[in-house]
Structure 1
Amino acid sequence: MRLLIADDHPLFRVGLRAALEREGFEVVGEAGDGQEALNLCLQLLPDGVVLDVRMPQMDGITATRLLREQRYRGLITLLTTFNEPVLIQQAAYAGADAYWSKELPPEALAERLRRLSQGQEPRLRAPELPKLTAREQEVLQWMAQGLSTKEIARNLHISPETVKDHLVRLYEKLEARNRVEALERARSLGLLSV
Structure 2
Amino acid sequence: MTTDAPRVLIADDQTLIRTGFRLILTARGLDVVGEAADGAEAVAAARGLKPDVVLMDIRMPAMDGLAATRRILAESPGCRVLMLTTFDLDRYVYEALAIGASGFLLKDVTPEHLAAAVRLVGTGDALLAPQITRRLVERYAATAERTAETVPADLTALTPREREVLTLMGRGLSNTELAAALTLSEATVKSHVARIFAKLGLRDRAQAVVVAYETGLVRPGVR
Quickly name the TM-score band, shorter chain normalised.
0.5 to 0.7
Match of 1:5 among 7, 10, 25: 10
Equivalent residue for 2:61?
A: 56
The alignment partner of 1:127 has SS state of helix
Note if contact 2:117-2:127 (Cα within 8 Å) is conserved in structure 1: no
- The aligned residue for residue 43 of structure 2 is 38
Could you list the runs of 5+ residues in structure 2 that have no partner in the other structure? 1-5, 144-218
Change over 3 Å in CA distance of 1:120–1:70 after alignment to 2:
closer
User: 1:117 deviation in Å?
Assistant: 2.5
SS of the aligned residue for 1:82 comes to: coil
Counterpart mapping for 1:106-121 below 5 A: 106-119=111-124, 121=126
Name the counterpart of 2:23: 18
**Amino acid corresponding to residue 90 of structure 1 in structure 2:** E
Segments of structure 1 that go 5 or more residues without pairing to the other structure are: 132-172, 176-194
1:127 aligns to 2:145 (yes or no): no
Counterparts of residues 51-90 of structure 1 (less than 5 Å): 51-84=56-89, 86-90=91-95
Aligned AA for 1:2? R
Deviation for aligned residue 1:116: 2.5
Deviation at 1:88, TM superposition (A): 2.0
* CA distance in 1 between partners of 2:220 and 2:99 (Å): 24
Deviations 1:129-152 (A, max 9, x none): 248xxxxxxxxxxxxxxxxxxxxx
Check whether the contact 1:49–1:77 (CA below 8 A) recurs between aligned residues: yes
Cα RMSD after superposing both structures: 2.4
Deviation at 1:12, TM superposition (A): 1.1
Greater C-alpha radius of gyration: 1
User: Normalising by the residue count of structure 2, what TM-score does the alignment of the two structures yield?
Assistant: 0.54
* Aligned partners of 2:103 and 2:126 also within 8 Å: no
Q: Post-superposition shift, 1:113?
A: 1.7
CA distance 1:27–1:121, change in 2 (3 Å): same
Identity %: 37
Q: TM-score, normalised by structure 1?
A: 0.62
What amino acid sits opposite 1:64 in the alignment? T
Distance 1:5 1:119 in 2: 18
Deviation at 1:11, TM superposition (A): 1.1
Q: Tell me the equivalent position of 1:143.
A: none
TM-superposed deviation, 1:85 = 5.1
Provide the C-alpha distance between the structure 2 equivalents of 1:120 and 1:174, rounded to a whole number of angstroms: 25
Higher relative contact order (CA 8 A, sep 6+): 2
Q: Residue 187 of structure 2 corresponds to which residue in structure 1?
A: none
Letter in 1 for 2:78: R
1:88–1:127: 8 Å Cα contact kept in structure 2?
A: no
SS of the residue 2:137 aligns to: coil
Query: What does residue 174 of structure 2 align with?
Result: none
Counterpart CA distance in 1 for 2:44 and 2:84 is 19
Aligned length: 134
Q: In structure 1, how many angstroms separate the alpha carbons of the residues matched to 2:90 and 2:11?
A: 22
